Structure 1
Amino acid sequence: MKTPRLAVAAALAGALLATSALSACGSAAAGGGAQTKELRYQGWVGQVTPAELAEDLGYLGDVKLKWIGNTISGPQDIQAATTGDIDFGGAFNGAIVKLKASKAPITAVIGYYGADKDSYNGFFVPEASPIRTARDLIGKKIGVNTLGAHAEAITKTYLKRNGLTPAEIKQVELVVVPPVNTEQSLRQGQIDVASLSGALRDKALEHGGLRPLYTDFELLGPFTGGSYVVRNDFLKKNPDTVRTFVTATAKAIDWSRAQPRDTVIARFRSILTKRARSEDDSQLKFWKSYGVAGKGGTITDADFSTWIEWLDSIGELKDDGLKPADLYTNEYNDVASGSAR
């Protein structure tokens, strides 16, 4: 049986093999033909993503989203985009760096989540827990939604900044727990620390008895943490569709900022009702923002350079000169350029 790390590595290897074939097909098809008007994607249970909001607001026009299932893992989502199982996927920017460093032919096109004072990823312990410092985490278990992504990067950044050696950091165990079960796992003592964000975080805090040990916002301030990516061959074959998708998503992000919070939440409830996936909408009342730092999801060098430098410092990147400009483009974001109508 594969460990989670080996499973991720195996999936990545498979993704890279598949993308070689996809790139060849994309190159052959890029010379002409109608652009697709349907974008396959994965959703998140009980949540409305910026792309889904964009569609409901009518910003996508004649481009339609096709939901093929849900995920709880950003790395899995962008691997699915890389293999062609879906047409766009979203993940923590550090995970995108790692996938790109492995020569995956993908490009980040818009930021879709981040951290601010209201929307952040916090790491919580029971109020009575003896864990008070980073050093107290040695030998302890931290529940995260997936390995190799946002929660892991923030945790290791926290540990390193607080003086733990690489050998000591390895003694802090990250355990994959489905987000909807993380609070329960913490309260039952199955894990020592819980990574919680968004509505699930606020719902857990409403229940009481928890305190934060560290948060991504405290460590890094406001930042865009994750981006949507598309395959390069898909981008080359469907530039107008990608522009429509990216610009529509950018408009939806800015719409969510401009509207009263109650209006956004009411829209989310309506979307969950219409899509009829038997989802619990009780967590929507805790929604505050998508946390995206830039206007309309505009991506900056800093959104990737932070993670390139960090991954390189811990030996997870080969010295191949990867630069932020190799990872993203704002070319298809008309909100970023100011040309959106």
Structure 2
Amino acid sequence: MSKLTTSANRRQFLTLLGLSTLAAGCGAATGNGAGAAGKGGTKTLRYQGWTGSVIPAELADGLGYLEDVKLKWVGNTISGPQDIQSAATGQTDFGGAFNGAVVKLASRNSAIKSVISYYGVDRREYNGYYVLDDSPIHTARDLLGKKVGMNTLGAHSEAMLDIFLQRHGLSQEEIEKAEPLALPPVNTAQSLRQKQIDVGVLGGILRDKALESGGIRPLFTDYELLGAFSAGTYVMTERFLEQNPDTARTFVTGVARAIEWSRTTPREEVIDRMTEIVKKRGRKEDAAPLQYWHSYGVAETGGRISDKELQLWIDWLGKRGDIPKDEVKASALYTNEFNGYRHQQAQSPAPSHSATKSGS
């Protein structure tokens, strides 16, 4: 069992994030990296992936939707905030994170823009806040003084917890009595069953496996709380977008097409194509978790972004005092300029290069 991070680290985490994003903003201004070099722009985008997963950008590449733009994998990321910081400093050309992290980074004068939503919450893709079947926790007020295990502090899971408590009438002083704890997702269900935590936040394969094992029940889910919504965006630096508009347009539109393809294609076929992509890239990964894939959860057609998807986090962070109130404008944080998706573009993906067609 990994050592749990106590609630005393909540503010420390956010402070460190703020300091690191200040550095990120300075790095972005230097224009280091592929996006800053070469007359006519780059056709290669450096990025970080996730072990055993196929992110929308990789799916777009596998479907042939990125045309002459190539992806260059430089390693796997450890978190969304780290991923977008790498993009902001020029270590990569795009990165993705929960929109609250994007707002946080932008509030520190980092010259980044969200260009497309790439993940979200829907009836098939969501995070649940689970307790043991015999737990005395049944209401929001029952969470006071209780330990809630989640993957990262100051991000999506903590925001959902705060919103849940707020919507059930708890004061800010009361809300702070609930105790978020950071621990590796793979340990969450075990920690819950061993009663080291009172509530565990579970999503994806870890949620499905825990439910299959039984003995737990949901207190609430983020889908029940807010309905379907896009929760995270890919960001690029303003400098990159200025110097590589054609590449950015090809990339964003290709990702939009891939999102819509995954939405309209039978799930089994999507999983087959993802499995093929994982096997071909040769990173010594286990493709089995892909069988638990349900959806990217992107709410808007083609991943287009609107004010409301960022305003939620501006309000949340402002209320907590983590960003200056009324100084961050949602409309300034994103652009749909490079998203040229049209409905018909989602049809007829490029054929598989393997001997066996995907979905056969």
Q: Is the 8 A contact 2:114 2:235 kept in 1?
A: yes
SS in structure 1 at match of 2:218: strand
What residue in structure 1 maps to residue 165 of structure 2? Answer: 159
In the alignment, structure 1 residue 301 sits paired with structure 2 residue 301: no
Cα distance in 2 between the residues matched to 1:58 and 1:77? 24
- Choose from 15, 23, 27 the match for 1:9: 15
Which stretch has the larger CA shift, 43-52 or 303-312? 303-312
Residues 106-136 of structure 1 deviation map (CA, whole Å, 9 limit, x = unaligned): 1000001111111111111111211111111
What residue in structure 1 maps to residue 355 of structure 2? Answer: none
Change (3 A) 1:159 1:265: same
In the alignment, structure 1 residue 110 sits paired with structure 2 residue 116: yes
How many percent identity over aligned positions? 55
- Choose from 301, 313, 320 the match for 1:314: 320
- Choose from 237, 241, 245 the match for 1:239: 245
Cα distance in 2 between the residues matched to 1:31 and 1:337? 34
Q: Is the 8 A contact 2:117 2:234 kept in 1?
A: yes
Q: Is the 8 A contact 1:46 1:281 kept in 2?
A: yes
Question: TM-score, normalized by length of structure 1?
Answer: 0.91
Cα distance in 2 between the residues matched to 1:56 and 1:153? 34
SS in structure 1 at match of 2:261: helix
How far off its partner does 1:230 sit? 0.9
| Letter matched to residue 240 of structure 2 | F
How far off its partner does 1:310 sit? 2.7
- Choose from 181, 188, 197 the match for 2:194: 188
Q: Is the 8 A contact 1:144 1:177 kept in 2?
A: yes
What residue in structure 1 maps to residue 211 of structure 2? Answer: 205
The unaligned stretches of length 5 or more in structure 2 are: 348-360
What residue in structure 1 maps to residue 351 of structure 2? Answer: none
- Choose from 258, 276, 288 the match for 1:252: 258
| Letter matched to residue 333 of structure 2 | L
Which stretch has the larger CA shift, 195-204 or 117-126? 195-204
In the alignment, structure 1 residue 172 sits paired with structure 2 residue 178: yes
Root mean square deviation of aligned Cα: 2.4
Cα distance in 1 between the residues matched to 2:193 and 2:68? 47
What residue in structure 2 maps to residue 226 of structure 1? Answer: 232
In the alignment, structure 1 residue 291 sits paired with structure 2 residue 297: yes
Which stretch has the larger CA shift, 104-113 or 317-326? 317-326
- Choose from 105, 122, 125 the match for 1:99: 105
How far off its partner does 1:319 sit? 2.7
Question: TM-score, normalized by length of structure 2?
Answer: 0.87
How far off its partner does 1:307 sit? 1.9
Q: Is the 8 A contact 1:200 1:283 kept in 2?
A: no
How far off its partner does 1:336 sit? 6.2
What residue in structure 2 maps to residue 138 of structure 1? Answer: 144
| Letter matched to residue 131 of structure 1 | I
Residues 13-58 of structure 1 deviation map (CA, whole Å, 9 limit, x = unaligned): 23423432531447xx979713122222222222111111111111
| Letter matched to residue 241 of structure 2 | L
The unaligned stretches of length 5 or more in structure 1 are: none
